Structure formats: C-alpha cells, structure tokens
C-alpha cells in the first residue's frame, strides 16, 4: 500500500504576527435588543487571500514573506416563525430587508517563508490552516461585539458546516457592498 505524503508547513513557514486588520458592526432597523431572542437566522461567510512578497531584512538582504488576510462576516436576520421567511414588518435601510445586524472582521497573518512550498500546498495552507488559526479570534470578536451591543449571543456555525462559504446571499438578492475577496 502506498503511503500518502503529508506536507508539514513547519519546515517552510514561521508565523510572525496575527492582528485584527479591520472590523465593522452595523445594526439595521429599530428592533429593541430584548425582542431579538427568537426567530433569527444566522448566515456566515468567509474569504481568504494571500500574497508572497520580498521584504528587506537589512542592507542587501531580502526574505520572502507571506501575508494572509482572512475575512469573516456574520449576518443575523429576523425570521417570521409562522412562515419560516424573513419578517417584512421590520423597517430596515433597504426595502424588504430583514437584516438585524452584521458583524465583520478581517485578520492579518504574517509568515516568514524559509522554503517556498509548491503552489497547491501553499493554497491549501492558506485556505485551511490560516482560517482555522484565526477562528477562535473571530468567535471571541463576535461575542465581544454582541455583548457590547446588548444583543443575544448567537451560535456561530463551525467552519466544516459552511458548505458554500463564498455564496452568502439568497437567490434573487444581491450585495451592494461588494464581495469579500476570495
């Protein structure tokens, strides 16, 4: 039986820094926080982008660096429990929109590249390892923001359940702010 070769990023990359790069919270409509406990739907999406670049490490010396930006968005909508669809009675900024709030955050990860992995391995590392590394930071950010906004804490779906991470909006509805980079 052939052995599967596993790629070990430790021999190629070393994490240098993780930082909250950007964050945004927006509440829509005029709903009181105490009425938002039932009938909500939570949708999530994520985007990941990475770039390798040469950084100066002294006079006449450069080292390769990898910068990865992982972006998350959580959207909470009010649902009418009788119809299992968005409640049209909520007044939001967009007509027919039942969004209660949106929480967004982007985390930047910086790595030193000792040896360049092949393109497929690097892409897998960016899409899997980097997202999982900042996942606890994203969860804590959501809890902190919702607590400060006096909103009930929602359960954030685990990454494995995001079968279509870049498709966020239901058919027939478009995002006017633009897509999170993939």
pLDDT of residue 168: 34
- Please give the DSSP secondary-structure letter assigned to residue 126: I
Please indicate whether residue 85 or residue 155 has the higher confidence score (pLDDT).
155
- For residues 106 and 10, give the distance between their C-alpha atoms in angstroms, rounded to a whole number: 24
Q: Which residue has the tokens 């509805």?
A: 173
The pLDDT tens digits for 63-81 are 889 999 999 999 988 765 5
* DSSP letters for 77-93: EEEETTTTEE-TTS--S
Whether pTM > 0.75 for this model: the answer is no
According to DSSP, residue 125 is labeled I
- Nearest CA-CA partner of 104 in 71, 69, 132: 71
pLDDT band at 47 (very low <50, low <70, confident <90, very high): very high
Q: Is the pLDDT of residue 54 over 80?
A: yes
Mean pLDDT of all residues in the chain? Answer: 75
């Amino acid at each position: 039986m052939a052995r599967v070769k596993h790629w070990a990023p430790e021999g190629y990359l070393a994490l240098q820094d993780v930082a909250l790069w950007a964050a945004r919270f927006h509440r829509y409509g005029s709903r009181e926080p105490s009425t938002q406990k039932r009938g909500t739907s939570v949708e999530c999406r994520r985007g990941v982008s990475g770039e390798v670049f040469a950084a100066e490490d002294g006079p006449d010396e450069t080292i390769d660096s990898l910068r990865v930006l992982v972006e998350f968005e959580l959207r909470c909508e009010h649902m009418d429990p009788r119809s299992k669809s968005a409640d049209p009675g909520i007044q939001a900024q967009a007509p027919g929109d039942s969004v209660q709030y949106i929480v967004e955050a982007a985390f930047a990860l910086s790595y030193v590249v000792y040896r360049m992995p092949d393109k497929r391995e690097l892409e897998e590392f960016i899409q899997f390892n980097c997202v999982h590394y900042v996942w606890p930071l994203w969860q804590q950010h959501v809890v902190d923001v919702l607590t400060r906004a006096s909103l009930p804490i929602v359960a954030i779906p685990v990454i494995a359940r995001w079968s279509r991470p870049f498709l966020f909006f239901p058919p027939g509805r478009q995002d006017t702010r633009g897509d999170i980079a993939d």
